[in-house]
Structure 1
């Protein structure tokens, strides 16, 4: 493979190789995101450290993070994170709930999760269009102002990550064609198509 997205393949440094090894341990292969961010592996590590720091105070659960990323990535039109995090949400709930969130239908979520998903979509689509009433909906769903800040910062950083990947033509990993639940795959009708296996050989 001589390209990653629209760019050539970067040299693999020790920092990048460490990220690759972590991918193999976690999902069984080196993810395309890691190959792309091998241009600046320290930046990728720093971004995810920052996401962890953002979440350190309020401790969003994996399910809550899955709701937020699935909602914001699909609203943003990012197929890669929609498939990855839609699959995680399916494991934390069920396929139909995850597929619904990808389509903007939140029937399978709790009241607080529905408020989070709605806010994530607004932040991803039009952050200048949010209103005090939108924030009040989060308060009404039980979130404190510190929690609302955490949710917003988390979504914004995820959008930043997706922006780089999407702008540089990154396609979702070929294994997602078989590992993502069928309902999740069918719901992701936007963004870059899943890579062909031969493209990642």
Structure 2
């Protein structure tokens, strides 16, 4: 049986084919998580639209989003997003910086970026355990309350995406793993193994 994670491959639809075509145009292959989201491509589009809306006002930079997702993915134990966004962050900085975010050392980040990474990890690990003092760390790093809200919504929506992928067995693509810098690959010692 052909599968998408733990599920059978869904029946092809025009919406799913657009999702696959976008992957091929951007990456040269269809991602395993796209095969899974082919069950509800409109839901995936809606989730990414929510992410764009959340970032519309405060405009987190691609590097800031990379730090948030990489820190969140590693704290959550999501190997797929850790490889994907760790690789992106490596391209925006250097592989050692991305590997540092994945391992929690945050070497190579500014004090502002370290505060963001720390917050993303706290939200991913235990959102009920955050405190006003944790929010104050972000304020002290220069973030406004609207920016803190944006970061939190962004991380929470990324967690929703990761939860679906991880719960239903989406494994990182071999091509993604191969194209990710070695320092990032070596730092991802958690989550589901790379697809064979």
Q: TM-score, normalised by structure 2?
A: 0.98
1:135 corresponding residue in structure 2: 135
Cα distance, 1:69 vs structure 2: 0.2
CA distance in 1, matches of 2:176, 2:39: 24
- The alignment covers a number of residue pairs equal to 196
CA distance in 1, matches of 2:4, 2:169: 8
Cα distance, 1:21 vs structure 2: 1.1
Gaps spanning 5+ residues in structure 2: where? none
Determine whether 1:41 maps to 2:51. no
CA distance in 2, matches of 1:193, 1:18: 27
The answer to which of 73-82 and 6-15 deviates more is 6-15
1:51 corresponding residue in structure 2: 51
Q: Is the 8 A contact 2:54 2:150 kept in 1?
A: yes
Cα distance, 1:184 vs structure 2: 0.5
Determine whether 1:109 maps to 2:105. no
CA distance in 1, matches of 2:38, 2:165: 12
Determine whether 1:98 maps to 2:107. no
1:191 corresponding residue in structure 2: 191
Q: Is the 8 A contact 2:83 2:177 kept in 1?
A: no
RMSD: 0.8
CA distance in 1, matches of 2:26, 2:60: 21
After TM superposition, the runs of 4+ consecutive aligned structure 1 residues lying more than 4 A away are: none
1:82 corresponding residue in structure 2: 82
1:69 corresponding residue in structure 2: 69
Q: TM-score, normalised by structure 1?
A: 0.96
Cα distance, 1:4 vs structure 2: 1.2
